[in-house]
Amino acid sequence: MKKLAILLIGVSMVLMSCKKDNDRPEIPNFPSGNEWTVEQILDTLANGTFQFDKEWHKNATVKGYVIADETGGNIYRTFYLRGEDGKCIAVYRKGSSDGGSEDFNVKTGDYIGYSLYGSIISEYSKLPQIQVQEYDPNKLIVIYKRGCYDKVQPIETTIEDINAGNHLCDLVKLKNVQFDDSELGKTYADGTSNTNRSLVSCDGDAIIVRTSGYANFAADTLPEGRGTLASIVSVYNTTWQLLVRNTTDVNLTGNRCGQGGEVMDIPYNQSFASSFGTYVTKSVIGDQEWHIDHSAATMSGYVSGKAYYENEDWLISSPVDLTAVEKVVVKVNYGAKYFNNINNDVTFWVSDNYEFDSLPETATWTQIPAEIENNNYQFEDIELVMPETFVGKIVNVAVKYTSTDSAAGTIEIKSILVREGEPTPQPQNIFSETFGSGQGDFTIYNVDVPAGLTYIWKFDSQYSCMKASAFSGSALQSDSWLISPEIDLDGFASAILTFEHAYKYGANPQSEMSLWISTDYEPGTAPSPESWTPVTIPNYPTGQNWNFYESGAIDLAAYLGQTVRIAFRYNSTTAGAPTWEVKNVLIKE
């Protein structure tokens, strides 16, 4: 093997806060003349795996700062590099079974140059990485400075932002997070196994914290409080996860989110995806109570298979500070069904003398005007204007639910936001179908139904959705389309499609569960590639549970002025036949 010629040119003294590396001599003759940014390296992945040729690319290098090393035991055969351009990537070395043995001689805070000589740029289950091909990886590294800690500070972000695909391979910091109630009392890892623990925010978002059983803190008990956590953002296929470097990055010592009672600044947003967070519930009449179900705060006076019951139940916020604002809006994302008079049974209130966690009758409450129109389980937002007499004060807001022994609806609230400003102008609904009571005007065309099955798509009354499956003892090959009626997009300035879906047991969700659109489909005929165009679904469920996930916004601007049909195509094989559930299809201007 031709040895790498190494040429070191003069390097500027880049950071006064960085310390000269005295631990090892500078490598002479480090290559120059073909410097890459991390972003350029990541761009090569657009065309698949790429290897730097030892002759053509012998001078290729990249510079950056080490933001995580192997010393905590949780990051194995890898360090993470934040390039001078702010982009990040993993650098992975061979193990002994692959012919390598040397550990990386880099530490967090090092400013380094890395020779890309012979390296492979690839994705491991969607994680971008530089694969070092040298037996001794350190012969490709020069450490210019140590202790550049101001360059390796974590980026403050949110779980929602990470789950949206941002900050991959970077060092981040999350605030107001805690380990889920179900994880309390457990250790970071079980024995020597890699273990996932659920971390949640006070807004109700969740993400996995993954810990190696060989981490030096694997046997430590998880902290039980709320606070901040710094970590590396990683991914395994479609599952986003966090890698803690060491326990000094974990500061979870405050009161847990669910305790509430603290004065909240606006915007004050509370999601009810996994808990009531900073809200408290109070049952005044009846045995039924607010509870978390289907990722929402849920209340009903109906008990399945039995009867209706009289209830009065409150969902009450922590105090929120409105002293520095002039106009306030309360935005509620909700779904409802089975109400005879929803605006009498679901009402919104505000108080400036409520003592948190006391019964509601101990305070004076004023109703916030609201006009609820949705009674079909389609989740949507309603914005309420805070009465002027409460603006400039510290207040609590509340949702009050009532039912009788002859009528009881069900309300589900996903989130409540208190913000400054005016109500947002509401877009017009162009088309909607909840599948709450059947398949509506959608039709089903079965291209391929396997022997032994009589249907693929069917209405599921238990979960108020359309469900498709071709599993009968084993995965079977099938092709079935759920096709909408005509949807007229003429006269609208924009059109955005959304829906909710859940699935499990899929092998390749993007090919097995897809969305299509047509402008010239003839009803009753077999769908053909000439008549239908595939449309990208931005968000798929995790496939690990039956939770419904938002599809994300799908822009139909290319079809404005036309009449279209959309179709949900279920296409299974003997390698994978998932169960796919779809509901709440909506096209808005």
pLDDT tens digits along 190-203? 988 899 999 999 88
Tell me the pairing of strands 296-300 and 268-271: unpaired
Res 4 pLDDT > 50: no
Q: List the one residue out of 480, 481, 559 whose CA is nearest residue 518.
A: 559
Rounded to two decimals, the pTM is 0.48
| Distance linking the first and last C-alpha atoms of the chain | 63
Q: Strand (E) positions, 218-365?
A: 226-236, 239-243, 250-254, 268-271, 280-285, 291-293, 296-300, 311-316, 320-321, 328-337, 346-351
Angle at 146 between CA 142 and CA 148, to 5 degrees: 120
Q: Give the C-alpha separation, 122 to 71, whole Å.
A: 24
3-state secondary structure of 401: strand
Looking at residue 192, its pLDDT comes to 86
Dmax over CA atoms of the chain, in Å, equals 86
Q: Give the C-alpha separation, 345 to 404, whole Å.
A: 9
* 122-125 contacts, C-beta under 8 A, 24 or more apart: 122/45, 122/49, 122/50, 123/45, 123/49, 124/92, 125/235, 125/236, 125/237
Looking at residue 101, its pLDDT comes to 59
For residue 313, the 8-state DSSP code is E
Taking residues 372-396, what's their average pLDDT?
Answer: 89
Each residue's pLDDT tens digit, 332-350:
999 998 898 899 999 999 9
Taking residues 132-154, what's their average pLDDT?
Answer: 90
Looking at residue 409, its pLDDT comes to 92
Looking at residue 304, its pLDDT comes to 75
Q: Which residues contact 164 (CB under 8 A, 6 or more apart)?
A: none
580, 586, 587, 589: CA torsion to nearest 10: -150
Structure tokens at 115: 């020779």
Taking residues 159-186, what's their average pLDDT?
Answer: 93
Taking residues 185-213, what's their average pLDDT?
Answer: 93
CA distances, 379 to each of 60, 180, 406, 537 (Å): 53, 25, 26, 19
Res 412 pLDDT > 60: yes
Which domains does the chain carry?
A: 19-151 (2.40.50.140), 155-258 (2.40.50.140), 268-425 (2.60.120.260), 432-588 (2.60.120.200)
Bridge partners of residue 100, in order along the sequence: none
Res 447 pLDDT > 90: yes
Lowest mean pLDDT, pick from 5-19, 93-107, 149-163, 211-225: 5-19
Q: Give the C-alpha separation, 110 to 264, whole Å.
A: 40
3-state secondary structure of 319: coil
Each residue's pLDDT tens digit, 259-303:
778 899 999 999 988 778 888 899 999 989 999 888 899 999 998
Residue 23: pLDDT band with limits 50, 70, 90: very low
Bridge partners of residue 432, in order along the sequence: 586
Each residue's pLDDT tens digit, 490-499:
999 899 999 9
How distant is the alpha carbon of residue 471 from its chain centre? 29
Name the residue with tokens 């003839």: 522
